[in-house]
């Protein structure tokens, strides 16, 4: 494949944009080479600036659940464009969006629109702190909740001690209020809660993790967290920015039957436009300004164009439950086919899979938390990623990410993926 145009654009981009990209993972640092600069996309396909075509298994990190440039969403945007792009004043469409989210995610009784998943999560913990009057939060190693200061915290020395900044610019004071514990370890959470009695405002997690690669909750883990938070008066926040409207209409909380106190949303909610949201119990959300004292605001929150795009996508998903059966079936085919391929080349690596999200880890051991995910062979992953890219398959450029399937992936495209997967695995044997 020729990537000359991407290489030239990357050279140019680095002169005006930090690292040449507007979000770090796009720079291909974990897999080497030049990031592919995209020119257009339609359905299952991405087209880069060199005219190369790829079958897309990232779908803008989740939002393109119905495939790229979906005609329905395009029509919804075209319809509202003539009415101007933003008012900075309330609109009926925002009420329609809020009412639809509440219908689809019953644990949400009130919801506030924002412009990204990061805004949603940083706002949600501020509200939980304001509502409880407590300062600390508990998060899990390997879970990513956007780039808010309180989340860029590495685990402290002991599993239940206070965190340390995981990025320059995050203060020790902020780190002191975040406790980081291992995912799927209920005992560590119990200990953290006991050691910080009556000081923890919220516990936030990805109910199904996508950001250490795909890691599902162990049996009883979510129920255990629910029970623990209820008894300790801790606000349980499900960060469903990835899983919301993807794993089920009501997200992971519907799939696993666990009701959080608050939920954060993003990606699919905007149909590809910049939208996030946070919501939850009425008595918690009524502490948000101007109903209550916890301040949060946004010039473009509830933007009319973004609301139109998001509404068209959510209305479709709400009215077509068969989408989830389709996504799950095609994902099952991909995962079973990969497992057969791995066995056929004697590389029985670990695949974690929930619904239309899955990850291939280059380790033979189970992956149940960040420590076990980090045992993957990153060198081999990098070679695998580039081998698939050369074969026209666009994957996440990091071992610690998940894939997202769209309804545009047909049986035939799944077969193409599996052929490329087998050929690439065979190429990897020389490195074992």
Residues designated as active site: 144, 239, 267
> Can residue 110 be called a binding residue for ligand KE4 (CB under 6 A)?
no
Considering only the stretches 95-103, 222-230, 234-242, 289-297, report the one whose residues sit in contact with ligand KE4 under the rule CB under 6 A: 234-242
Tell me the two tokens of residue 13.
């981009």
Q: Kindly state the smallest distance separating residue 326's Cβ from ligand KE4, in Å.
A: 23
CA pair distance 405, 131, nearest whole angstrom:
37
Minimum CB–partner distance for residue 61 and ligand KE4 (Å): 4
Whichever of 94 and 119 has its CB closer to ligand KE4, that residue is 119
Least distance to ligand KE4, CB of residue 352, Å = 15
Residue, CB closest to ligand KE4: 117
Stretch that binds ligand KE4, among 64-72, 203-211, 280-288, 302-310 (CB under 6 A): 203-211
Q: Select from 347, 366, 389 the least CA-distant residue to 214.
A: 366
Nearer to ligand KE4 (CB atom), residue 203 or residue 342: 203
- The single residue among 116, 180, 185, 372 that binds ligand KE4, judged by CB under 6 A, is 116
Selected from 52, 107, 118, 123, the binder of ligand KE4 by CB under 6 A is 118
The DSSP-derived string for 143-184 is: ----S-GGGSEE--SSTTSBPEESSTT--HHHHHTEEEE-TT
Tracing tokens 């209920």 back to the chain, one arrives at 186
List the one residue from 20, 207, 210, 304 that touches ligand KE4 (CB under 6 A): 210
Please give the residues from 143 up to 172 whose contact with ligand KE4 meets the rule CB under 6 A: 144-146
Question: Which residues have a Cβ under 8 Å from the Cβ of 140 and sit 6 or more positions away?
Answer: 180, 181, 182, 183, 205, 206, 209, 369, 370
Stretch that binds ligand KE4, among 69-77, 140-148, 252-260, 345-353 (CB under 6 A): 140-148
Q: From residue 29 to residue 68, what is the string marking binding to ligand KE4 with x (rule CB under 6 A)?
A: --------------------------------x-------
Helices 322-344, 411-428: crossing angle, 10 deg rounding: 30
CB of 415 to ligand KE4, least distance (A): 27
d(CA 298, CA 275): 11
Q: Where are the beta strands (DSSP E) in 225-274?
A: 235-239, 262-265
266 binds ligand KE4 (CB under 6 A): yes
Among the residue ranges 7-15, 63-71, 204-212, 309-317, the one whose residues contact ligand KE4 (CB under 6 A): 204-212
Name the burial class of residue 1, with classes exposed (0-12), middle (13-18) and buried (19+) by CB atoms within 10 angstroms of its CB. middle
Return the structure tokens found at 410.
Answer: 């047909």
Asked if 387 and 427 touch (Cβ cutoff 8 Å), the reply is yes
Query: For ligand KE4, which is the closer residue by CB, 140 or 349?
Result: 140
> Rounded distance, CA 210 to CA 402, Å?
5
Q: How far apart are CA 134 and CA 286, in angstroms?
A: 17
The CA distance from 340 to 161, in Å, is 43
Query: What is the nearest approach in angstroms of ligand KE4 to the Cβ of residue 147?
Result: 7
Kindly identify the residues of this chain, within the stretch 388-427, that bind ligand KE4 according to CB under 6 A. Answer: 401
Q: Which residues bind ligand KE4 (CB under 6 A)?
A: 23, 25, 61, 116-118, 121, 144-146, 206, 210-211, 239, 241-242, 266, 276, 401
């Amino acid at each position: 494949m020729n990537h000359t145009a991407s290489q030239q654009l990357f050279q140019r981009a680095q002169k005006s944009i930090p690292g040449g990209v507007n979000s770090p993972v796009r720079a291909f640092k974990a897999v080497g080479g030049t990031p592919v600069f995209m020119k257009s996309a339609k359905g299952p396909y991405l087209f880069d600036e060199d005219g190369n075509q790829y079958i897309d298994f990232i779908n803008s990190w989740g939002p393109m659940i119905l495939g790229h440039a979906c005609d329905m969403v395009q029509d919804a945007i075209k319809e509202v464009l003539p009415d101007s792009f933003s008012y900075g004043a309330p609109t009926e469409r925002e009420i329609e969006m809020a009412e639809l989210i509440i219908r689809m995610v019953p644990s949400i009784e009130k919801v506030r629109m924002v412009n990204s998943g990061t805004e949603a999560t940083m706002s949600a913990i501020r509200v939980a702190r304001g509502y409880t009057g407590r300062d600390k939060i508990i998060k899990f190693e390997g879970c990513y909740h956007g780039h808010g200061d309180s989340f860029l915290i590495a685990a402290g020395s002991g599993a239940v001690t206070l965190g340390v900044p995981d990025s320059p610019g995050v203060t020790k004071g902020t780190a002191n209020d975040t406790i980081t514990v291992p995912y799927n370890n209920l005992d560590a959470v119990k200990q953290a809660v006991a050691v910080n009695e009556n000081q923890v405002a919220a516990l936030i997690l990805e109910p199904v993790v996508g950001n250490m690669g795909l890691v599902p909750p162990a049996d009883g883990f979510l129920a255990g967290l629910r029970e623990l938070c209820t008894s300790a008066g801790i606000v349980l926040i499900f960060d469903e920015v990835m899983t919301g409207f993807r794993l089920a209409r009501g997200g992971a909380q519907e799939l696993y039957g666990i009701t959080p106190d608050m939920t954060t949303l993003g990606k699919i909610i905007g149909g590809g436009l910049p939208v996030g949201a946070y919501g939850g119990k009425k008595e918690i959300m009524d502490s948000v300004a101007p109903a209550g004292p916890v301040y949060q605001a946004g010039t473009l929150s509830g933007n009319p164009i973004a609301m139109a795009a998001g509404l068209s996508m959510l209305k479709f998903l709400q009215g077509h439950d068969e989408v989830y059966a389709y996504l799950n079936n095609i994902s099952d085919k991909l995962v079973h086919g990969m497992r057969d391929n791995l066995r056929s080349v004697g590389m029985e690596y670990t695949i974690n899979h929930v619904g239309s999200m899955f990850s291939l880890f280059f380790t033979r051991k189970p992956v149940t938390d960040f420590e076990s995910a980090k045992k993957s062979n990153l060198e081999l992953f990098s070679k695998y990623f580039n081998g698939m890219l050369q074969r026209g398959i666009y994957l996440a450029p990091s071992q610690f990410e998940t894939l997202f399937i769209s309804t545009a992936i047909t049986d035939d495209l799944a077969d193409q993926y599996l052929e490329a997967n087998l050929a690439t695995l065979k190429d990897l044997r020389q490195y074992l």
